[in-house]
Structure 1
Amino acid sequence: MNSESIQRVFQLKHDPLSCTSEWVVIEDNDDAELPDTSTDGLLDTTSYLDMLNDSPRNRAFRLAIEKTITRPCHVLDIGAGTGLLSMMAARRMTTLGEEYPVDSNCMVTACESYLPMVKLMRKVVHMNGMGKDINIINKRSDELKVGTDIASRADVLVSEILDSELLGEGLIPTLQHAHDMLLVDNPKTVPYRASTFCQLVESTFLCNMHDLCNSEAKTSDGVHLVPTGLENLLRPKSQQYAMHVNAMEKEVKLLSEPIKIFEFDFWKRPASHGELEVHVKAISEGRIHAIISWWVLQLDSEGTIFYSTAPRWVDSNTDTGGSNLSMESVRDWCDHWKQCVWFTPGAGVSVSKGEKVVLQAAHTCTNILYYLKKTQRLSNEIPCSTSNARDLQLTLPPERIAVYGDNEFRLSMFEAMIKALQGKAHPLCLAVDDSLFLPLTALHICGNSHVISLSPGFKENVVRYLEAVADSNGFSKDRFEYVTKAKLTQTHENKVDLLVGEPYYSALEGVLPWQNLRFWKDRTRLDYLLSKDAVIVPNKGVLRACAMFLPHLWKSRCCLNDVEGFDHAVVNKTLGACGDLPYGKEGPYLPFFIWQCGDTKQLSEEFTIMELDFSKPITSTCTGKVQIDFTKSGVCHGFALWMDWVMDEENSVVVSTGPDKRYWKQGVKLLAEPVTVTAGCSFAVIEASMDPTSSGELIFRHSFS
């Protein structure tokens, strides 16, 4: 092959445990039959597989495409992915070609900017014998030029560039450019329209995920991460936070009917900004802690095919943002589109039944924003952020804010720190991770302590925050400092008496639980800085697991074969399929909040796979073997895995991150085939090994009997 016909893309691949990165070379070529392994596993934690397993979505798009394309024409597919919608359009045009004349302008153009996905699409299109029917272009749609990349403007636009909030993947700027430069006047589109809806709710659980100030007021340890006057120092990272609200249906009190907010027509150029004010009548007394939002797609112009991401409790009619009566709108549990939560600032807004509140909504090109106020006056219960506080502000995942407000967690950490500092006159404490609570706790417990924070995720940002909080807590600023790891080794001659971590690394929020063993790596690298009697908190890590019934999650990660009549088997390895794998093949580990995974049930007792001793540096591979008995009958789809952090040498203080702890993600190992088990009769043997000296890859083997 001529070297000029090959394009190369370099993708950064990060190893969270070893803290190293490497550039993976991905080459582009035009030979669809050329074997390629450079993208294997590269997309295994993305939502592509889950989306392609969403049968209601696939069927809805197919029916709408067949209904919308009425004669051969030029069809443009933006964000083509594996090419499914392009192939639907091409197949429809082939059928119509028997009735209508076809000219050179009748074609399907598939536009996809991500090279690994383009390579995969070429394989899928080739596998289905449609290579001559679809023109695949590896560019962003706003890079396409008529007359250069495509011969003419497109008559029909098909696209699926939607996230859980609707706008986050750049829907508006993409449509704007398409209408300006790529589409004919008054084009046909699939989808035809998208409408957003929301509902006011009371939920203590959701309140805890953003209101640390009031959570801290109920604790007794005396440590204040958000002191009075600095309530907005810590805030949730995402204003619209995607999550499966159906999982907390029994904990949500509805305070309004569903409210229609914005409407976006795909068939015309959308506006970059929009504002709306709605007077909402409370249907019940309560406190508005959050606004839950979702969207509804109308896929055809006549309004007969719909797809909705509404919560399960919403009535099935389009007027309230639920599902249309069309079967295409009935969707199973899936993870690629969730609902979104907008957290009401502070302790929320109290309302009486029948009272009206003003809901102001606005959208930018990429976000939808909400503001609440009483009809008579702005709520006094919403704290105002000062400019100084904004300068100091740190953002955290909502779950981490909830952890810091959790009294059980704080008491466990507090007890462990008291034990660790006991008998130390002027202790030097080193926090190697992005912990915020432990450094302040060390300052609070021991008046002579000095704290150093490496804070690899927050870096220098944590300095202004901790100095402000230390001052508010009555600690002198000279007792705390932030340093880089390199500076630490150069300037600190005193030995470290206490090395601590929660462990929490802000850059590892979406990774597998045992990848927080970066803490052990850091502890090992810094061993020469520790005093002979240095205390390590946590003292030990315990990898735990249990067998699980997970039908929805397993189905969403199954191997693909036929997708609306198109063979997708070639994508399974690259997209990280877990279920229905060929014998001897293993799927990847996946990070999930188990409690949000649809129907779930624990089928065995929780068991320990291996223990990791942090009091000593890493020296060798860790192994474990255990036999587990099933305590409930049912179908086992896989295992949930998590870390328990043993904080002290006596094993008396343990922080668990298991499935019943909803603020932590667990790891999931799905079985290639589900296994029916019987309580009291069935058992499984688990063997596992991990080499923390390198990438920390977990090898997990299982057998059932």
Structure 2
Amino acid sequence: MEDSNNFLENIGDIDGEQDIARSAYADMLHDIERNEKYEKAIAKVISQMKNKGISVNVLDIGTGTGLLSMMAAKHGADSIVACEAFTPVAECAVKVIEDNGYSASIKVIPKRSTDLIVGNDLPKKANLVVAELYDTELIGEGAILSYNHARKELLEEDFLSVPSRARIYAQLVECPLARSWNRPFSIEVTKNDSIMPPPEAEICSGAPAVHDIQMSQLLSESFTAITDPAEVFCFDWLSPCTPSTGHNVTNLKTIAPGSVNAVFFWWTTDMDPEGEIILSCAPVWAHPDAKKGLLPWRDHWMQAVYYLPNDVCASEIGVELVLEAFHDEYSLWFRLGERHHNNSPIAVKETRPICNCLLHLAYSRPRLGLLNDKTRQNKYINALKRYLFPGATVLSLGDGSWLSLIAAKLGATVIAIETNPMCRRVIESYSESNGLQNNLTILSGSIDKFSERSFDKKINFVIAEPFFEDSVLPWDHLYFWMEIKKIKSFLDPGMKVLPSRVKIKGLGVRFHDLHKIQTPIVETCGFSMKQFDDLIQEAIDSIDETIEPHPLWEYPCTALTDIVNILELSFALDDKSSHSNLTDVEVTATDEINGVVIWCEWFLDDDIVISTGPRSPTNKGEVIHWDLHSKQGCHFLRNINNINSWSRLQFLAMENDCEISIEINRI
């Protein structure tokens, strides 16, 4: 068996390294409640079987680090076969098991459970299956298929399972924020003139996939619960077979009036056959342990939003709604109706929603929310009204930006460069349905593909959000300025650029939980995870950037330093120099700092600023409220136990032709 530091040599490509880096240096093994409840249930079931004189033969499906197998061995299982399809992790599991002294008890097979053969991989059928096959949607990782195959081919008829069953709960809500993530809003350019979504977008059901979020981070005032949560599915892993498709009807009574536009849903699981040990993924307002202050943090299992194709109005309390839930082997969807007084349901579409307008395929949920943000939108409109002049020729850069439509609506002659084909088709449909074709020309591809014939006259106005689908970190959107520099010969010397400049800012924080995705496990439930830590650390060092993008509105953190200006750039054509800046911020030993957050502020004017960072003033020692539609750059400080040995965070930022590099050091 090779050492863990040689595993990566056998993966063969970057994708393999990424899979390892992401495989568990997230929070799953930091989830103490998950681990403890698995062990409690495994110990209970094995004890029950032993008390009945039954020999316990365990099958561990998708063993990962081998944790569940080691729990079974610790509590007296007679034989254990663990399978893991991802070979490097299967090899690591062998080392973890060896480190913990269970090599003689556990056989690890680098295969999918559906490829196992009794008499070859397993000496005989197992009578206890332990597995963690869930995702946020519960069944998205193939739990139904895996359990059904195991029942038929790998397990005795009277087998037991940890977990034993799972339940999905749904709640009907009115949530304007969620609506903004799924429906395009009209754009009020002037008091009497708006840009309307194309008809096909207004009636589109939206993307069929659910939207997983950290639902507990939604502000209570951001939604209204129209009904209480209700169980809509129960998957019994102890039954002879779980149907690959399912349909359930639940009658719900409204507890508040409102317009239902979304279904919030989550799951719980009975860890033991009696249902005495329950693990819940409910959000804070529905979690059984919330009042005890025991709500765990998880990123591997979150909650999800399902967007309804049409709003359903419940005008008063006590209205009965009919929620229908459906599933196939990998996904869930819902439909909603209201009962007439004669108790018959209102007719609704029975087919699963599919996007037919392209907008939901071209734009992510956060991107659509960004475009629908009226406060942000009005800042752009006000800036354009302030600076656009009659006869202006405007160049619009960015993927799927509505700024080109707004400028055209205000009477400018607009040339929009669209690098993303689907975004281009969406903007074309908006232009056609709003009669903007005479003012708006949409060109496909990158800007350097166009000759002077593409432009009838000099461009005297450039607009950008800026936003590009391929951008990862906030400052990657500076790509728009690189593109402008390629066409200097087409630009009027007095050209106006919106935004006119950018500030890159940062501060030191204490992440409440997010840092766990880069924190070594060390041990859990008394089992050493050193081999796994070594494997993951090598993969992270090999593939990961030092700054990662995360939507921090979902991941609370507390400000521990002042905000600092890391770098400032002015978008002036005559500025040919590179830029650099060295700045630092004081840190005290009591700060418990574990990370740095970096974001951009785009200046449309001195008094009109678009920020991708905090959405309210930030004070030391207080939780930061981040922009809801952006990702911030996060740097996790490793080995912070020796905080007394450093007193400053130092930011070294350099820009060369819009390529930004930021180095963070502890001094």
Range class of TM-score, shorter chain: 0.7 to 0.9
Instruction: Measure, in 2, the Cα distance between the counterparts of 1:677 and 1:67.
Output: 43
Q: Residue 656 of structure 1 aligns to which amino acid in structure 2?
A: S
Instruction: Measure, in 2, the Cα distance between the counterparts of 1:301 and 1:641.
Output: 48
**Which of 555, 561, 564 lines up with 1:597 in the alignment?**
555
Partner of 1:36: none
Q: Does the 8 A contact of 2:333 with 2:352 survive in 1?
A: no
Q: Residue 125 of structure 1 aligns to which amino acid in structure 2?
A: I
Instruction: Measure, in 2, the Cα distance between the counterparts of 1:605 and 1:221.
Output: 44
Partner of 2:39: 62
Q: CA deviation at 1:693?
A: 6.5
TM-aligned CA distance change 1:220 to 1:307, over 3 Å:
farther
Instruction: Measure, in 2, the Cα distance between the counterparts of 1:144 and 1:124.
Output: 22
**Which of 653, 656, 659 lines up with 1:689 in the alignment?**
653
**Which of 193, 216, 225 lines up with 1:245 in the alignment?**
216
Q: Does the 8 A contact of 1:191 with 1:297 survive in 2?
A: yes
Partner of 1:103: none
Partner of 2:270: 298
Partner of 2:621: none
Q: Residue 80 of structure 1 aligns to which amino acid in structure 2?
A: T
Partner of 1:16: none
Instruction: Measure, in 2, the Cα distance between the counterparts of 1:76 and 1:619.
Output: 65
TM-aligned CA distance change 1:302 to 1:662, over 3 Å:
same
Partner of 1:374: 338
Partner of 1:504: 467
Answering whether residue 529 of structure 2 is matched by residue 568 of structure 1, we say yes
Instruction: Measure, in 2, the Cα distance between the counterparts of 1:42 and 1:152.
Output: 32
Q: Does the 8 A contact of 1:49 with 1:577 survive in 2?
A: no
Q: Does the 8 A contact of 1:333 with 1:552 survive in 2?
A: yes
**Which of 397, 402, 405 lines up with 1:440 in the alignment?**
405
Partner of 1:473: 434
Q: Does the 8 A contact of 1:198 with 1:258 survive in 2?
A: yes
Determine what percentage of the aligned residue pairs are the same residue: 25
Instruction: Measure, in 2, the Cα distance between the counterparts of 1:556 and 1:615.
Output: 40
Q: Does the 8 A contact of 1:543 with 1:610 survive in 2?
A: yes
Answering whether residue 330 of structure 2 is matched by residue 357 of structure 1, we say no
Q: Write the mapping of 1:54-453 to structure 2, written as runs, cut at 5 A.
A: 54-69=31-46, 70=49, 73-92=56-75, 95-96=76-77, 106-112=79-85, 114-213=86-185, 216=187, 222=193, 224=195, 226-227=197-198, 230-232=201-203, 235=206, 238-268=209-239, 269-314=241-286, 316=288, 330-376=294-340, 390=357, 394-418=361-385, 421-422=388-389, 425=392, 427=393, 429-431=395-397, 433-453=398-418
Q: CA deviation at 1:408?
A: 1.9
Per-residue deviation, residues 140-193 of structure 1 (Å, max 9, x unmatched): 333334445444433322111211121122222222222233333232211111
TM-aligned CA distance change 1:434 to 1:362, over 3 Å:
same
Q: CA deviation at 1:441?
A: 2.3
Larger CA deviation: 60-69 vs 633-642: 633-642
Secondary structure of 2:238's match? coil
Q: CA deviation at 1:625?
A: 2.6
Q: CA deviation at 1:53?
A: 0.5
Q: Residue 64 of structure 2 aligns to which amino acid in structure 1?
A: G
Per-residue deviation, residues 93-147 of structure 1 (Å, max 9, x unmatched): xx455xxxxxxxx3322223x3443344344234334445433333333333444
Any gaps of 5 or more consecutive residues in structure 2?
616-626
Instruction: Measure, in 2, the Cα distance between the counterparts of 1:219 and 1:178.
Output: 63
Q: Residue 260 of structure 1 aligns to which amino acid in structure 2?
A: E
Q: CA deviation at 1:439?
A: 2.4
Q: Does the 8 A contact of 1:279 with 1:357 survive in 2?
A: yes
Q: Residue 286 of structure 2 aligns to which amino acid in structure 1?
A: V
TM-aligned CA distance change 1:439 to 1:573, over 3 Å:
farther
Q: Does the 8 A contact of 2:512 with 2:558 survive in 1?
A: no
Partner of 2:595: 638
Instruction: Measure, in 1, the Cα distance between the counterparts of 2:379 and 2:524.
Output: 50
Instruction: Measure, in 2, the Cα distance between the counterparts of 1:486 and 1:360.
Output: 49
Any gaps of 5 or more consecutive residues in structure 1?
14-25, 27-38, 98-105, 317-321
Instruction: Measure, in 2, the Cα distance between the counterparts of 1:161 and 1:224.
Output: 46
- Output the TM-score relative to the length of structure 2: 0.82
Q: CA deviation at 1:44?
A: 4.1
Q: Does the 8 A contact of 1:439 with 1:451 survive in 2?
A: yes
Instruction: Measure, in 2, the Cα distance between the counterparts of 1:306 and 1:517.
Output: 49
Instruction: Measure, in 2, the Cα distance between the counterparts of 1:138 and 1:525.
Output: 52
TM-aligned CA distance change 1:587 to 1:530, over 3 Å:
closer
Instruction: Measure, in 2, the Cα distance between the counterparts of 1:360 and 1:169.
Output: 23
